[in-house]
Structure 1
Amino acid sequence: MKENAQEYDKKVNYSYSLIHKEVEVIQPNDAIAVFTEHNPRGEQVFIAYFKQEDGQWEWKQTRGAEWDTPVKWSAMHQEPYIYSGAISDSSIKEVFAGRKKAKIIAVEGDKRFWYAISDSKDVEVKIVKEDGAQEVIEELDDEMLEESTEQFNKR
């Protein structure tokens, strides 16, 4: 993270909190970390994939999410395909990326973060609510995106 911090404005106080880590997620000598970053945009949550090479941990891929945005989930574009997203809706009980059930991590209050590791690129993402209702969710919420664009244009 220190290497990435060099890109940021020194006057802004960035802070990070590790909320979950897991080793040997796909193969020996790999790991994921889920962490929050507090920055000028507010709080964001990230998932990073690491691989140990020649005794050193190498940061391979990262995806991020924000709470209550039009982006409902994202996926890493190279293997391993890790799908992830932020959840603010307390009625969501499960998330699936293709056939893989996502791991859901409590972050703070009603805020949760999910991720699923898939063998396939471009899988369908589905949520299951407490009442059993299932819904395929698109990567972008078009209605929410339109509202955000309208609010931005009014400025």
Structure 2
Amino acid sequence: MKKIKKYGFLLIILGLLAGCVKEETFEEFFHKQMTKNLDSEVVKETNYSYALVHQEQNVVHENDGIAIFTENSTEGEQIFITYFEKEKDIWNWGQTRGAEWDSPVKWSAMHQPPYIYSGTISDNAIKKVYAGDIQAKIIQIEGDKRFWYAISSKKDVEVKMEMLDGTRQVVNEIDEEMLKNWNFEDSE
């Protein structure tokens, strides 16, 4: 009987200790991944920095999430959206899409479910964005810079912007006119 009490007590203590193990939060995982391979000399030389500007959990189902973050590097300022899933209490970095401000690429979409459509907005006349029938969430970044995203179960939907005057216009993934000027400026 003493052995049973001894082992029972030991199991209770082990159970309590197991419950005390701190599970890594979504934000802790994100920051650890962002800094994992950073060399301090490279950071100094390139003035590299990043900032988590928005996060949301349980976006498609329980134990998933998105992070929206900016990066400043030799490439300039870029903004990214990443989809994460948690499996067996461990976060996993999934798909990522990036964008630049004032780029001819007006929006992009992830190629696997969940299909996350996203892009930048620098035009204050844009009131809403839709990816198919889904109204996008618009995140204020700084000044006139905004970022939008919509999570859809459908691939290849039409993206529309609703203007302050109520009109809607379809937005192509790439602005061909802006691309012509973009290439011309880069070749000079």
> Does TM-score exceed 0.5, indicating one fold?
yes
Question: Which residue does the alignment assign to 1:24?
Answer: 58
Larger Rg: 2
Structure 2: gaps (5+ residues): 1-33
Question: Which residue does the alignment assign to 2:89?
Answer: 55
Question: Which residue does the alignment assign to 2:136?
Answer: 102
2:185 to 140, 151, 154: 151
1:115 to 141, 149, 160: 149
For residue 2 of structure 1, report the CA deviation from its aligned partner: 2.5
Please state which structure has a larger fraction of its residues in strand.
1
Cα deviation, 1:38-62, whole Å, max 9, x if unaligned, reads 1112111110100011211100011
Q: Secondary structure at the match of 1:127?
A: strand
For residue 4 of structure 1, report the CA deviation from its aligned partner: 5.7
Please state which structure has a larger fraction of its residues in helix.
2
Question: Normalized against structure 2, the TM-score is what?
Answer: 0.78
RMSD, matched Cα: 1.5
For residue 82 of structure 1, report the CA deviation from its aligned partner: 0.1
Alignment partners' CA distance in 1, 2:83 and 2:174: 23
Look up the equivalent residue of 2:95 and give its one-letter code. Q
1:75 to 2:109 alignment:
yes
Q: Secondary structure at the match of 1:77?
A: coil
Alignment partners' CA distance in 2, 1:104 and 1:4: 31
Question: Which residue does the alignment assign to 1:2?
Answer: 35
Look up the equivalent residue of 2:125 and give its one-letter code. S
Structure 1: gaps (5+ residues): none
Alignment partners' CA distance in 2, 1:112 and 1:122: 23
Q: Secondary structure at the match of 1:51?
A: strand
For residue 5 of structure 1, report the CA deviation from its aligned partner: 4.1
Higher-RCO chain (CA-CA 8 Å, sequence separation at least 6): 1
Alignment partners' CA distance in 2, 1:5 and 1:141: 34
Question: Which residue does the alignment assign to 1:140?
Answer: 174
Alignment partners' CA distance in 2, 1:138 and 1:85: 11
Which moves more between the two structures, 109-118 or 40-49?
Answer: 40-49
Question: Normalized against structure 1, the TM-score is what?
Answer: 0.94
Look up the equivalent residue of 2:104 and give its one-letter code. P
1:93 to 2:127 alignment:
yes
Runs of 4+ off more than 6 Å? none
2:74 to 34, 37, 40: 40
